[in-house]
Structure 1
């Protein structure tokens, strides 16, 4: 079994990551193992960052106190913030946004080279399953990236069982988030119900889903490069606010490539994508004239496609 510090050293070597960064620590097993592993692997200086969303009352406050004590015991600096989730926002997405905003602010303050989170191979498997259930495509099946910008996930190839074994070997206590057992949340049902059932079919399902994510990442990276090249070939000078594309150059291209090119175009222009369904992208990819969600209009006029958005 590869130890957590060894896995972290290997990750830093593969990705050529310099020392000195921020460790996101909730107090749970994964993030505590991450912190101890970073310290043991000599990746410092390290600053611990902890967010208390005050969702569980005294339990949340106890998590914050635990993280502070742990950081002190390891001679590591710590920054914490109390950031309640605004009402009427989606709890999970709003909490995640607040956490990452805080992590980035801490990283900027301490001139950190990276922000490390404790995502494990099990988290990757759960993410792939969660997105598959929600109807994702190749892009979503990439799961969680090992490195994106200054966010790194050194434990992404480490199983939760290895995390728990490492903590037991070091005699390290951790905190338990009671909401992780709440089956009202889809991810918890995946973790406690679906994934164990899939292990009955194949005990190696966690690394299998991890490999699937890596393969989808490779495929999508290739597709995105080809889509960027296609956009460069077919785009013509704008006519005022109208985007002009050469329809005759688009038509011979594979549909999957055309759809991805339009997604790139949507993102570049800042057009809303939340309302775009699979069926919408299919129609866009076939150059079907229509009014699309977010006020985007596609028109076919002779040899060109015109795109615009109503103000």
Structure 2
């Protein structure tokens, strides 16, 4: 069984604009997936399908083995938590606690269950001490974490995030990256859309590239150092790969995808092959 199984899905808006066209992909349970592509590629529309906010007009989607349709959409939203790009669209209650307990309460959990799952969710994102704060008292990064906590309180198997790094300072980006890694260690399947190729190539074990509503490429993070795919997707190489691309007459099998690969390659080029890396 796959966490997400998409087969030949097409969706057009009322003005006949095709948002996604004949998309097929299968995502294993426990994977870390980065979805990339230029604006208008159809990334958000695809994410909304995976959460049941939209239903495919053609093709089929199964989440944790459950086919997506009108009857199953509510159940799918319990399996798949969607964190919007802007937390102000999601964190709207009077206090952090009220916001996080909104989802579990609507699922019909008991008061004891709500208390337990909300404490665990806020603790996992480092916001338990802020539960009586009003959202306007929080930084943008803190509100992002509260939005994630609100999803985790519904105990989903899959967490989907739309541009989780947008508008965050470097510290906030590091905190969210560490949080995502922690959620994956907890067994969650994580799928996020991003324009940040540097983050995607270092974090994801699977990369999906879309353009013009179609699936352009699907595979490992090495796709993001493949100059042909990068050019087709209107993206750019990660900074580390661009650095090595600037070295004249460099004859290597492939560009590095992360700092560790870059260090190994650099020392090899400098004939320090005896150095060991952890």
TM-score normalised according to structure 2 size: 0.31
Q: Which has the higher contact order (CA 8 A, sep 6+)?
A: 2
Structure 1 or 2, whichever has the larger Rg, is 1
Pick the structure with more helix per residue.
1
More strand per residue: 1 or 2? Answer: 2
